[in-house]
Amino acid sequence: MNAHAASLSLPSSWVSRFAHLVPPGEVLDLACGSGRHARLFAGLGHPVLAVDRDQQALASAAGPGIVTL
């Protein structure tokens, strides 16, 4: 995996920085791609609805606490 691809597997720094400000409840991740932000919020205890038009990306985004559409 190259450096660019590796960086896309981690949540962006600004989402990570402000994630604690999201109140409890469900999070909608539109155009979720491989689910880097969906995984962050699911890990923080939020139920997540992850939506993307790319079925392969959605398969990567699936995980505990994440519903894909």
Structural domain total, the chain: 1
Which residues, listed in sequence order, are joined to residue 20 by a DSSP beta bridge? none
For residue range 8-54, list pLDDT tens digits in order: 689 999 999 999 999 999 999 999 999 999 999 999 999 999 999 99
Residues 60, 32: Cα–Cα separation, whole Å = 10
CATH number of the structural domain spanning residue 17: 3.40.50.150
Instruction: Give me the torsion for CA of 51, 66, 47, 30, rounded to 10°.
Output: -20
**What is the pTM assigned to this prediction?**
0.86
Q: Which residue range(s) make up the domain with 22? A: 3-68
